[in-house]
Amino acid sequence: MSVHATKRRLAPSDIKALKGQRPIVSLTAYTTPVAKLMDPHVDFILVGDSLGMVLYGLDSTVGVTLEMMIAHGQAVMRGSTNACVVVDLPFGSYQESKELAFRSAARVLKETGCSAVKLEGGAEMAETVDFLTRRGIPVLGHVGLMPQLINTTGGYRSLGRSDKEAEKIRSDAKAIDDAGAFAIVIEGTVEPVARDITGTVRAPTIGIGASPACDGQVLVVDDVLGVFTDFKPRFVKRFANLAPLMSEAFAAYAEEVKARSFPAEEHTFQVKKSS
C-alpha cells in the first residue's frame, strides 16, 4: 500500500525563512472564491480588518468585530490550501491586556484554523507579542501607519518624515522583532526608513506604501483589481480595472430582464414530453 504525501500549507516559519531568499507575496482576501483564485500565487493571505471599509462600507477599521474577522477567516480557509492564512485582530480585541489578546487570538485560531494573527502596535505591544508567541500563537506585527489608531493620529498620511517619527518607527519595529513576530508589516512609511528597518530586523518586512526593498509586499485585493474605486492611495497599483466591467455587466443584465430576453428557453427547466 503506497503512502502519498499530503502537501501542507505554508507556515509562519516558512514565511520567516524567505527573508533574504526571495520577495514574499501577499494579498488580502475576505471570501472563499477570491481566496481560491489567489491561493496558488501568494505566500500568505491576510484576512485584513480592511474588510470593514471594503466590504461593509465603514469609514474606518475601528468598527470591525472579532466575529466579523472569524467569519471571513473561515471563508478564506475554505478557499485556500497552499497559502499561510493570517487573520487580523480587530480594534478592542487585544489592546487592553496580553491576556485578552491571548483569548481573542486563541479563539481566532481555533474557530478558523488559520496559522497566525496580526496586530498593530510597536513598543507598547511588544510584551503582548512576546506573551502570544511564547504560548504558541504566531504573530504578524504592524508598524508605521496603523489604521486602528486613526482617531488619535488624525488621518491617513505617510509617516517617518521627521527624525522623531522615523526613530519611533525604527524602535517600534525593533521591539516587535525582539518580541518574536515572524514578520512585520510596515505601512505608510517613507521609503528610506522602511528600507533601513528591513536591513536591521531579523523578521521579514512586508511593505504597503513603504519600500521596494522590503522583504515582501501586501495590497488590498479590491485595490489590485480596481473594484474599490472610491479612493486610490499613492502606493496602490491597479493590476486590473474591473469596476467598469462589472457595471457594464449589471447594466446588460438589467436591460435583458426588462426586455424579457433573459431568461431565454435555454436558461429554464422544461418538462420532458412522454413518448
Fill in the DSSP letter of residue 90. P
- Per-residue pLDDT for the chain (275 aa), expressed as one digit of tens each? 444 455 799 999 999 999 999 999 999 999 999 999 999 999 999 999 999 999 999 999 999 999 999 999 999 999 999 999 999 999 999 999 999 999 999 999 999 999 999 999 999 999 999 999 999 999 999 999 998 877 666 666 778 799 999 999 999 999 999 999 999 999 999 999 999 999 999 999 999 999 999 999 999 999 999 997 776 777 789 999 999 999 999 999 999 999 999 999 999 999 988 76
Q: Give the predicted TM-score (pTM) of the model.
A: 0.92
> Do the Cβ atoms of 187 and 137 come closer than 8 Å?
no
Give the residue carrying C-alpha cell 500568505: 44
E strand or H helix that includes residue 12: helix 12-17
pLDDT of amino acid 121: 96
Asked if the peptide bond before residue 263 counts as cis, ω within 30 degrees of 0, the response is yes
Which pLDDT score is estimated for 129? 98
* Dihedral over alpha carbons 256, 259, 262, 264 (to 10 degrees): -140
Q: How many CB atoms lie within 10 A of CB 194?
A: 28
pLDDT of residue 155: 62
* Feature table: binding site for 3-methyl-2-oxobutanoate: 49-50, 88, 118
DSSP-derived secondary structure letter, 189:
B
3-state secondary structure of 102: helix
Q: Which three cell numbers stand for residue 248?
A: 457594464
H or E segment to which residue 98 belongs: helix 98-112
Annotated binding site for Mg(2+): 49, 88, 120
- The total of other beta-carbon atoms located within 10 Å of residue 23's CB is 14
| Ramachandran bin of 273, using left for φ above 0, alpha for ψ from -120 to 50, beta for the remaining angles | beta
Cα first-last separation, the chain? 51
**Residue recorded with cell 522583532:** 177
Residue 148 pLDDT: 84
Q: How many CB atoms sit inside 10 A of residue 71's CB?
A: 15
- Which residues belong to the annotated binding site? 49-50, 88, 118, 120
Q: What DSSP designation does 80 have?
A: -
What are the structural domains of the chain?
12-241 (3.20.20.60)
Active site residues: 187
